[in-house]
Structure 1
Amino acid sequence: MCHTTLGGMVLVCPGLLKGQVRVQNFEFSRTEFIMAHDSNIARLALTLDGRFLATASCKGTLIRVFNTSDGSLLQEVRRGADRAEIYSLAFSKTAQWLAVSSDKGTVHVFGLKIHSDTSLTQTTTTVPQLDVSSNTSSLSFFKGIHICLQVYYPKYFSSVRSVAQVRLKEGVKYLVGFGKNDFTVVIVGIDGSYYTYEFDPVEGGEMSQLEYYNFMKNEETF
């Protein structure tokens, strides 16, 4: 995958190692090798300016966003807990949103905060502090366990969840993109289906269908 920027060209492709991505940044004449996932790379996507990279593995549970200039991890989002095949990844024009489609028949839209100057080097999760001052308290057995929770708290609960989503036919391969604005999602299926959906960036939730057309069945719905 290759994108041309104002300063040069960014080329990304899977590396030689499992879960590795090679980023060739011609603007800075630099090559970065990113260990993006524990399993093989399934999908890659770049922003229009080539500054940010989204990656998904064959597990399909986590999508990670990296800075292509230095390979730093900026954000991690979670599609779900079950293994899935990721069909498509797409950034919005402003890189504020990321759309993801999978073999589960779902399309998720995630809100991104990747314009920060600092990279995500570790996730911090706040665990509620329990009243363990009394030895007779029914919660006293947590005295020492709650400290371990701060270290081993499951990553499942700390990953960012989708802002908006829609469920389509399971098993159909869908490609996703963004329409005329950042809040319009375009979905094209291998079965000839074409959808446009709109989502509320504040309320989120289920997306609203704006348009449907099937090129194979010649059916149109607004």
Structure 2
Amino acid sequence: MKVLRFNQDASCCVVSAAAHQVNIYNCDPFGKCFELNDRTENDGHETSAQYDTAKQRSIPTVDRGFIIEMLFSTSLVAIADRSRGSSNGRKLKIVNTKRNSTICELSFPHEIVDVVMNRKRMCILLESDQIYVYDISCMKPLETIDLWEDHFKKAVKESRKPSAGRVLNDASRRRNSWGHRMRPRMALSGDDRSILCYTSYSATKSNPESYLLHDVVVYDALNVAPVNYLNSIHKGNISSLAVSHDGKLIATASDKGTIIRVVATGVDSEYDSTRPLLHEFRRGSRPCNLYQLVFNRNTTLLACVGDTDTIHIFGLNSTDGNGIPNEGGEDERLLANSNSDTLRDVVGSGESPKQLATFLSRHLKASIPNQHLRRDSAHIKVRVDYDYCVGFPEEFPNQVYVASSDGTFKVYTIPSTPGECVLSKTSSFT
């Protein structure tokens, strides 16, 4: 079984029991509320062809089966079926689940990778690294965002005009980008403000011909205009991205998967461009593939899911006595400067080597990056041989839902003090 995703308020969960079958379950009370079972064949492709869960663990919503996005708990669902060849993978059906009928069908020049929507906008990411923005009320196309075109515009603006050979090489990479492990990510805020955040390409300093997806563009999808550009949030590619319900915060994790950062998007009037980093958490010391980040409705909790045996939940309201230093940021520089001044005082006073060693252990250690990163405030132990998806229900702020590819749906209670979540209910997707 393949767990696709929860809807925006975690009132429903979408699962696929087979390549041709999609079911939508209501979470409370638990039960199936919609079933799509299509065994027909198109273009000579078997519906079960290339549906390999194990190969898609790092990108759970992008596979050769279904890509589905619900509109909260309404009957409107967007469905793209990649299991029956590229021609079907380019079509997006807008379905009314109550009438079990197709409202409209949209066709695109390349296969669909991801779909996100709220009550105002729908955004479709294609494997050509293009994002189509639609007015969901009338399904009118509003804008096409080309990530590669925007990258080259930025290069020209910075007087880094790409050569003809480089453009040709980029075009070739773009056409074959589906084979690359790292792909652009996008997320849309759940409110009517419709803040779209997506990763963007940028050339590395050491090699202009090499690219990283470690920048994030903040885009106003409601008014179809860019808002902010956040440079180099991580050293490596961003593998997972989430935006808060109000669009004010984004959470990111790199392909290393050890550090999670929460950054202000800059859409509010109190935004401080010199200090965009608000929280920084350490998931663990060993690298892993993090394939889901999700905020709760009130932006007080952040959950992350990867290919490890633990689902982590971080508290966004708690603060450390030591603060949360930004690696390479203002706090770290101030701390380092302060330590440098004190070091000069110690050396200049002719103190003994023992006193100097004591100073180094007590003061300089504090300026090491990531020394004070906070750990999770709650966690859930899981088995590593299954895929998982989490959701925070709006009606029950002290609970978290976990759907698993082993066919189970579990409800956990989040503890009031740091520790392991308590299992309160288990159901089965049957």
Q: One fold, TM greater than 0.5?
A: yes
Q: Which moved more, 1:179-188 or 1:66-75?
A: 66-75
AA aligned opposite 1:208:
V
Q: 2:257 aligns with which of 39, 44, 60?
A: 60
Higher relative contact order (CA 8 A, sep 6+): 1
Q: 2:407 aligns with which of 182, 192, 196?
A: 192
Is 1:3–1:11's contact at 8 Å kept on the other side of the alignment?
yes
Match of 2:294 in 1: 90
Q: Give the direction of change, closer, same or farther, for the CA distance of 1:141–1:212 in structure 2 (3 Å limit).
A: same
Match of 1:15 in 2: 200
Relative to its length, the structure with more helix (as a share) is 2
Q: Aligned equivalents of 1:139 and 1:2: distance in 2? A: 54
Is 2:294–2:304's contact at 8 Å kept on the other side of the alignment?
yes
Match of 1:2 in 2: 188
Cα RMSD (Å): 3.0
Could you list the per-position Cα deviations for residues 14-41 of structure 1 after superposition, in whole angstroms to 9, with x for gaps in the alignment? 1012211121135784432222111111
Q: 1:149 aligns with which of 342, 365, 377?
A: 365
- SS where residue 16 of structure 1 aligns? strand
Q: Give the direction of change, closer, same or farther, for the CA distance of 1:97–1:123 in structure 2 (3 Å limit).
A: farther
CA shift at 1:49, angstroms? Answer: 1.4
Match of 2:54 in 1: none
Match of 1:181 in 2: 396
Match of 2:424 in 1: 210
Q: Could you state the TM-score of these two structures normalised by the residue count of structure 1?
A: 0.79
Match of 1:32 in 2: 228
- List gaps (5 residues or longer) in structure 1: 126-131, 217-222
- List gaps (5 residues or longer) in structure 2: 1-186, 203-211, 319-324, 336-345
CA shift at 1:144, angstroms? Answer: 4.3
CA shift at 1:207, angstroms? Answer: 0.8
Q: Aligned equivalents of 2:254 and 2:356: distance in 1? A: 42
Q: Aligned equivalents of 1:194 and 1:4: distance in 2? A: 24
Q: Aligned equivalents of 1:40 and 1:185: distance in 2? A: 28
- SS where residue 374 of structure 2 aligns? coil
